[in-house]
Chain A
Amino acid sequence: MRPAKFDYVRAASVEEAVRALEAAGPEARVLAGGQTLANLMRARVVRPSTVVDISRLSSLEYIRAEAGHLAVGALSRLRDLEASALLRDACPALAEAAAAIGDVQVRNRATVGGNLFNPEPSSDVAPVLLASDGTVVVQGPGGRREMPAEEFFARPLGSPLGPAEVVIEVRFGRSGAASAFEKLSRRAADPAMASAAVFLRTEAGAISEVGVALGAVHERPVRAAPVEERLAGSPLDEAIATAALREFCAGLSPPTSPHADAAYRREVAPIVALRALRRAWDRAGGR
């Protein structure tokens, strides 16, 4: 299928992109890697009046360790995240998530910012961002603002953004924490049936800080806050973790897709989270 007609604007700067979005109104869409948007447009499920192409804003491609967080430019390509030695060291969950998204061709173009908007049934970067207690930096007509990841993922997808606001940076928190990402999918390169990200720190053999988040198993990517509370303060006990995860996941409303039904997603979510917990714990030097 071919897309419906649209006006095309190539932005040479973020400011220009914001102005173009403002001028075009609410039916405009931002084009970054295009691996989600092009699909939706070809199916005519999405019919933007204007497409604002920000994919050449190379100033938004970076991975920087900053004070207390990892700053990743929104246009950083997933292939660069996958290959980044810095990430593999400082934030393996993000490198693992990037490597698990789609196939080589997709990762060559898809961006970390764009992935946050993946509806399919949800972004793989999202649980990593949530578990890291991260934030999303946007720029719009009113300037820059930063919002907590939880706020960003409120539904409908994209609704927390104001008119003409563009995601420019994604900040992953819990710097220095051990992390891991797990994903189950039907085939290689498929979207998740269930995914989980864990960040944790240990102190004197106990978990001093932990973030656990799940993807593709609820209406939105979700942080398992009650589970985090149960785990903090003790060494990792798999039985306790499993029980806490099961209790939490019982309250989820997973989507159903031809890849996996809701009941399955709810059932495996604790398993996937436990696998991520185990690996993060190992990485933190636990056991």
Chain B
Amino acid sequence: MRIAMSINGTDHEVDVDARVLLADLLRDDLGLTGTHLGCEDGKCGACTVLVDGQATKSCMVFAVQADGSAVETVEGLATGTTLHPIQAAFHEAHALQCGFCTPGILMATKAMLAGGEELTDARVRTALAGNLCRCTGYTNIVKAVLEAAEALGREPTDAGKAAAKATRTEPVGATAGQ
């Protein structure tokens, strides 16, 4: 099946079997190996990318379902070799060790910071419950997210605004949860 999607702002058109996972399309067919696979029951979150601004486990989505979507992967964060503020915060806080879970956590963080709610240690931890890490024990990851939030001044991003737009009876808005 022929599908089209934009990935990190670049348009792609590919022919893909229905059963190919979005993660495999990104990694094997498009050479974007920054998104990683750590499990097959959708629990570890290492494969997290943004699809239309929403944090999504790319191993739980068939590529054909992303037809027409805007996909963001970790490769789209930095500008050249200049780290995105989230990446810089992770570096400064020593929030990564082996780095395998890191891209998924960076993308989940990007989506988290696009929302408008106030972040606390507890809220960050809940928002990252879908991303497993075995190296860091999460202590520095939470620090890094809170520091990145400050660095970014918590302005919702374009992607976040796009995600908030919906064809629903009742406006979703930027606030999530309680």
Contacts and interface: CB of A to CB of B under 8 A. Distances in A.
**Chain B binding surface, main DSSP class:** loop
B60 A39 contact: yes
A142 to B, nearest CB: 28
A105 B175 contact: no
B130 A106 contact: yes
Interface in B30-53: 40-42, 45, 48
B18 A6 contact: yes
A6 B19 contact: yes
Contact of B170 (A39, A51, A63, A189): A63
B110 interface: no
B19 A104 contact: no
Interface string A43-58: 1000000010101001
B39 to A, nearest CB: 10
Contact of B168 (A80, A102, A187): A80
Contacts of B45: 103, 105
A240 interface: no
A164 to B, nearest CB: 20
Given A62-B169, A106-B42, A108-B54, A99 B177 contact: yes
Contacts of B62: 8, 31, 34, 38
Indicate the size class of the contact surface on chain A: 35 or more
Interface in A21-47: 31, 34-35, 38-39, 42-43
Indicate the size class of the contact surface on chain B: 35 or more
Contacts of B98: none
Contacts of A105: 45, 48, 55-57, 60, 108, 130
Contact of B127 (A83, A104, A106): A104
A103 B130 contact: yes
Given A62-B169, A63-B169, A108-B54, 8 more contacts: A6-B19, A38-B42, A61-B167, A103-B129, A103-B130, A104-B55, A108-B55, A188-B126
Interface of B: 1, 17-19, 21, 24, 40-42, 45, 48, 54-57, 59-62, 64-65, 108, 111-112, 125-127, 129-131, 166-170, 172-173, 175-178
